[in-house]
Amino acid sequence: MPLFIGAWLIYYSYNQFTNEQLEQIYAQIKGANYYYVIVGLILALLSHLSRAWRWNYMLSQFGKPPTFLTNITAIGIGYAMNIFIPRSGELSRAIVVNRNHGIPVNKAIGTIVAERVLDFGILLLITAIALLLSQDVFLEYFIGGFKSAFAKANSSQLFLYLAIVISVIILGIFLIKRLGLYRKVLDFLKGMKEGFSTIWTMKKKWLYLIHTFFIWSMYLAMFYVSVFAISYEGTFAVAAILAAFVAGSFAVAFTNGGFGAYPFLIAQVLLLFHVPETVGTSLGWILWLSQTALVLVYGLISFILLSLKK
């Protein structure tokens, strides 16, 4: 479904442009200064390596932690998998460390969930800063959108959707118990809980937090540096860059690596700050294509290294 949403957003956004605007977008992408893009890719790669190192602070709670190389390959494979199947990368990471170092899959997933919760908290903090810096621009846009959505909403439809969701949950619980999977699911969740709790019990919490700060600093620096690749006579306000960064981050989190949604949302957010939509779209595609290429190459190298290791 996220893949179809991304494809529809590409179709929808490009149907809004005239032939002249499409030519402008193509010219901006072709004429971009890719020196800044390469610098951005190096910063992004540093964040991936830091994430691999950071993970061992949690995994060390379950005995001898995996090697740094194992974590690098696990994360590379995980990122690549998320492009094709959203959120499958977390399971892939857990399977790699399980097969190479015997760490239980459910406990490894628990550490990844804890990692994601902390990262999401950092993203929310950056979102709050972006909202404050953008004054009323960003906030008014979303408030207006929510008001419009609720004004058009049908209360009977909302109750119907809620009833369907509750029914599906109840049916799922019934089937799990009926098929004898209840104990297995419960044991799996207990293992996840144990993995999640390592965020409080690990010995090197401060080093973990330092890596977390470094990872997100690299994300922001990558985005900021890449902005200079685009040819634009105007200036990008700090608030606009932060807001676009937040939009792109949510696009990547909830779709196939941001396919379609990443350039669309960045263009729409920058448009609020009076950046032409053609410029925002060009920048969005440059960022998405370069980061996706990095993830695919990183994932391919990780597959090769893992195969050679075996």
pLDDT of residue 148: 47
DSSP letter, residue 275: -
pLDDT of residue 53: 93
* Region of residue 255 (phi > 0: left; psi between -120 and 50: alpha; otherwise: beta): beta
pLDDT of residue 222: 95
pLDDT of residue 42: 95
Alpha carbons within 13 angstroms on the beta-carbon side of residue 40 total: 25
Structure token pair of residue 135: 């004054």
pLDDT of residue 150: 47
As a whole number of angstroms, the distance between CA 286 and CA 293 comes to 11
As a whole number of angstroms, the distance between CA 132 and CA 129 comes to 5
pLDDT of residue 132: 82
pLDDT of residue 145: 47
Structure token pair of residue 14: 């490009």
As a whole number of angstroms, the distance between CA 94 and CA 110 comes to 9
Do 130 and 265 form a contact (C-beta atoms < 8 A)?
A: no
As a whole number of angstroms, the distance between CA 195 and CA 108 comes to 6
Q: Which residue has the tokens 């293992």?
A: 191
Spans of all domains in the chain: 2-309
pLDDT of residue 90: 85
pLDDT of residue 72: 93
Which sign, positive or negative, has the C-alpha torsion 54, 57, 59, 64?
positive
Neighbours of 75 (CB within 10 A): 23
Do 292 and 63 form a contact (C-beta atoms < 8 A)?
A: no
In order along its 310 residues, the chain shows pLDDT tens digits of 666 776 777 777 777 788 888 888 888 888 889 999 999 999 999 999 999 999 988 888 877 788 899 999 999 999 999 888 877 888 888 899 888 888 888 888 888 888 888 888 888 889 888 888 876 665 565 555 444 444 444 556 556 656 676 776 666 655 555 555 555 555 555 555 555 566 666 777 889 889 999 999 999 999 999 999 988 877 888 888 998 999 888 888 777 777 888 888 898 888 888 888 889 899 999 999 999 999 999 999 999 988 886 6
